[in-house]
Amino acid sequence: MSLDFSAASAALKDHYQPAIRSQINNQIMLLQQIETDTKSVEGEEAVISLHTGRNSGVGARAESGTLPVAGRQGYTKARIPVKYNYGRIQVTGPIIEGMKSNTGSFTRAVDSESEGIVNDLKVDVNRQCYTTSQGFIATAVTVSTGASGTITFATEAEARRLEVGMLVDIYDGDFLADDTAVTVTGVSVSTKTVTFDALAAAVDAGDWVVRAGVVPSAVSSKATEDAQYEIHGLDDIVSNTGWLHGINGATATIWQSYVSAVGAVPTDSVFEVALDEISQTAGEDADLIITSFAGSRAYANTLKTQKRFPNSCDLKGGFKGISVSTPRGEVALWSERHCLDSVAYIVNTSHLTQWVMSDWSFMDRDGAVLNRVGNTDAYEATLYKYHEVGTDRRNAHGKLTGLTV
């Protein structure tokens, strides 16, 4: 009988390559395009002054006529508390010893976990950039409860926001927890279906999925807005209603973005209408369009029918987008995996800001990044970032919904 690989497997060595190849998308784009402000943070708040009204004391008069009644400019000071994002790791003493050399492992235990948690937290912050501060990741459409329960969502993007191993809570429309600490065990983007280790009978259609530990509540005032856990995403910022930085966009018309339910394929003309409306209101041009990969493909397909092919343009941080041609120049279009398929945000990056009280750091106020876990042979470390995202001019941005992709 001849010697083959099956028979000789116990005698053969495995030749392992020297590094782990990451299979995870860790991109974060939006925060690299906007200003980071550390100077306007006082205590635990960012403070900005908003110009909200014109002086009405102007007008033409006849010779010797009565002059206009004097008016004044309108100003509002917004005080914006920063939000706190955390990532936590824990490793045992034996695994630190077992992974301390190339002979025993591909990577060091502490290095692997600390580098990984930085990427993981950045990915979640990137997701927060496209949702609301209430933390809604996805909304259930159909639900099957029990062991290996499933939830089907309306869009692929919502399913894509959830990953295997992710721990989530589920809230109903009254902001009561229908289930907590459930684990994602499977994701099918094509069917928009996510499987969980178990789902309580109370979970039903319309429920919201949030990160475990994030407690959403209704936003009806500055106090309730400030009480939300996550940073403001574009769903909060680019809106013609709702509270933002202590101002109610439902009643303050100057504090409203351009929002249009277009119900059409994204084309040059669709984007041009939105860009024109934003420019007429704000007096400035938006410079970045963000939509889903499906939205970008749909736009690119309209160019092919005209025998045109999209050019690329450079964004900050080494990112590249599609160039959209408009009468006022080129506008970059970025494909974002966390953006809903039927939505496009049209933003002016000079009027978006990330206020930072403390940038990405590991807690070391006691002089050590790694701290002993009480009564166990284990160590832990905590990554944190104290920051908030927002705008000083809400009407400089726009949002298109109902895009046909």
In tens, the pLDDT along 125-141 reads: 999 999 999 999 999 99
User: Which pLDDT value is given to residue 27?
Assistant: 64
Asked if residue 68 is part of any domain, the answer here is: no
Task: Write down which residue in 201, 216, 231 finishes a domain.
Answer: 216
Contact between 114 and 88 under an 8 Å Cβ cutoff? The reply is no
Whether 352 and 211 map to the same domain: the answer is: no
CATH of the domain at 158: 2.40.30
Give the dihedral sign, CA 325/309/27/102.
negative
User: Which pLDDT value is given to residue 179?
Assistant: 97
Whether 296 and 337 map to the same domain: the answer is: yes
CA distances (Å), origin 224, targets 62, 115, 129, 243, 276: 52, 35, 19, 9, 34
Whether 369 and 230 map to the same domain: the answer is: yes
Task: Write down which residue in 150, 181, 216 finishes a domain.
Answer: 216
User: Which pLDDT value is given to residue 55?
Assistant: 79
Whether 35 and 168 map to the same domain: the answer is: no
Q: Give the whole-angstrom CA distance, residue 377 versus residue 351.
A: 49
Asked if residue 9 is part of any domain, the answer here is: no
Whether 201 and 278 map to the same domain: the answer is: no
Distance of alpha carbon 355 from the chain centroid: 15
Amino acid at 14: D
In this prediction, the residues of the chain whose per-residue pLDDT falls under 50 are: 1-5, 7-8, 11-26, 102-107
Q: Give the whole-angstrom CA distance, residue 248 versus residue 253.
A: 9
Whether 256 and 206 map to the same domain: the answer is: no
The CA-CA-CA angle for residues 228, 229, 234, to 5°, reads: 75
Domain that holds residue 365: 27-49+77-129+218-405
Q: Give the whole-angstrom CA distance, residue 169 versus residue 213.
A: 7
Distance of alpha carbon 231 from the chain centroid: 9
